[in-house]
């Protein structure tokens, strides 16, 4: 079997572990940490704020490192930081130590193991099947949303949050890191192999190195970053409020859990689907389809439907996530090439983060003003149309053209 598929499996495992915890399971720490230290919800939530702010600085650096050094060692270093940071976090003596250690652990881990690292690695192994490979790799985050929270919840429920973090640390150290070392290589040439056959000769731009200035001054950086930033902002804000949305509709937590599970499962399906079509259709069309699915799901939720229609909205939200990561990765590989892929994606991180951060308080402000989520949903539908419009002038050609 072509070794590139082992690389896909390795990057999928990395995303499963890292995003499974930081995107899905981390909320399980909030209540026990708050209770033990006797602090407010706001003080505990500063941990996520710290992680986001530190990441804005470290992500561009991580992107540059990915283009310059062996990526499998960078990913291994990020996982070691994840393991060590989790262990130190379990020894926190007050909330501010917890906030600092969490922020540092999250930012270092994400800067070395994030999408810029995994996607650039997969892209270097594949040509004709690049979109499909990126989609399968991205499935890891959805699998992490299904597998990691129940496991971490079991540890916390039985032995407390400190032991839960210790168990997480040991799992990363003894299971994830060895499998990563075995399966991931940054480039085919690292082990004397060639990229996937059958894709034709890669354009010369794939081996061209672009400077930070080249990337930041290229219109595609702003069109793609603006589109993805706006799309991520509205999607993550509504996803974070799914449980209270369902409760507002007079339904219990069980229905909310079902809806979240549907989003995760169909997110997995969507990543594979969009990964496949990314190899066969115009990439802008793929991202427009994803945006259209978000608009459709938000429109359903805005009319306060029955749970059956909420489920349809959840399914379309899940499918929409499939168009975000694999299509994004394929676009950057096409425009900035593989030699500067990590730098381009790393530099895009701060732009996307700045667009995502305001969406959470915006939802809260609208809910406080109107007592429901309808106004926020309608505003976010408008934001989706803006995101779609930003793609119109985008030209999918290499940055040197």
Within a domain: 17: yes
- The last residue of one of the domains, among 153, 188, 223, is 188
Q: 336-395, pLDDT tens digit by residue?
A: 887 787 788 888 888 988 888 788 778 777 888 888 889 989 999 999 999 999 999 998
Task: Name the token pair of 133.
Answer: 């490979």
Asked if residue 386 and residue 262 are part of one domain, the reply reads yes
Asked if residue 113 and residue 61 are part of one domain, the reply reads yes
Q: Give the per-residue pLDDT at 278.
A: 66
Please give the tally of structural domains in the chain.
2
Asked if residue 122 and residue 270 are part of one domain, the reply reads no
Q: Give the per-residue pLDDT at 280.
A: 72
Asked if residue 183 and residue 208 are part of one domain, the reply reads no
What pTM value is reported for the model? 0.74
User: How far, CA to CA in Å, does 336 sit from each of 53, 169, 221, 329?
Assistant: 26, 36, 9, 11
Q: 255-297, pLDDT tens digit by residue?
A: 777 787 788 788 888 877 777 776 677 888 889 999 999 999 9
Asked if residue 302 and residue 374 are part of one domain, the reply reads yes
Q: Which residues of the chain have a pLDDT value below 50?
A: 201-205
Asked if residue 208 and residue 184 are part of one domain, the reply reads no
Structural domain including 102 reads 4-188
Furthest C-alpha separation in the chain? 62
């Amino acid at each position: 079997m072509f070794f590139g598929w082992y690389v896909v499996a390795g990057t999928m495992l990395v995303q499963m572990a890292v995003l499974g915890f930081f995107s899905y399971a981390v909320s399980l720490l909030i209540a026990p940490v708050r209770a033990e230290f006797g602090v407010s919800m706001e003080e505990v939530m500063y941990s996520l704020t710290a992680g986001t702010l530190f990441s804005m600085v470290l992500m561009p650096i991580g992107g540059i490192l990915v283009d310059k050094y062996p990526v499998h060692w960078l990913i291994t270093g990020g996982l070691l930081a994840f393991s060590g940071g989790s262990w130190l976090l379990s020894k926190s003596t007050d909330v501010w130590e917890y906030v600092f250690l969490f922020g540092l652990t999250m930012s270092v881990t994400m800067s070395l193991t994030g999408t810029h690292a995994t996607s650039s690695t997969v892209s270097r192994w594949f040509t004709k099947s690049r979109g499909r490979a990126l989609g399968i790799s991205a499935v890891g985050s959805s699998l992490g949303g299904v597998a990691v929270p129940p496991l971490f919840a079991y540890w916390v429920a039985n032995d407390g949050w400190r032991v839960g973090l210790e168990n997480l640390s040991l799992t990363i150290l003894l299971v994830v890191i060895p499998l990563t070392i075995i399966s991931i290589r940054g480039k085919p040439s690292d082990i004397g192999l060639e990229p996937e056959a059958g894709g034709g000769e890669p354009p010369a731009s794939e081996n061209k190195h672009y400077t930070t200035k080249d990337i930041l001054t290229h219109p595609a950086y702003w069109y793609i970053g603006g589109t993805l930033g706006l799309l991520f902002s509205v999607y993550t804000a509504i996803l974070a409020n799914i449980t209270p949305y369902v409760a507002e509709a007079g339904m219990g937590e069980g229905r909310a859990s079902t809806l979240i599970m549907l989003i995760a499962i169909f997110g997995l399906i969507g990543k594979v689907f969009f990964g496949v079509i990314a190899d066969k259709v115009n990439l802008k069309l793929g991202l427009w389809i994803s945006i259209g699915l978000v608009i459709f799901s938000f429109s359903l939720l805005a009319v306060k439907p029955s749970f059956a229609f909420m489920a349809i909205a959840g399914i379309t939200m899940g499918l929409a996530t499939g168009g975000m990561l694999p299509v994004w990765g394929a676009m950057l590989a096409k425009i900035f090439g593989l030699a500067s892929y990590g730098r381009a994606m790393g530099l895009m991180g701060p732009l996307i983060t700045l667009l995502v951060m305001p969406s959470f308080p915006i939802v809260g402000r609208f809910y406080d003003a109107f007592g429901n989520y309808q106004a926020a949903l309608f505003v976010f539908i408008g934001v989706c149309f803006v995101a779609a419009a930003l793609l119109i002038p985008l030209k999918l050609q290499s940055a040197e053209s």
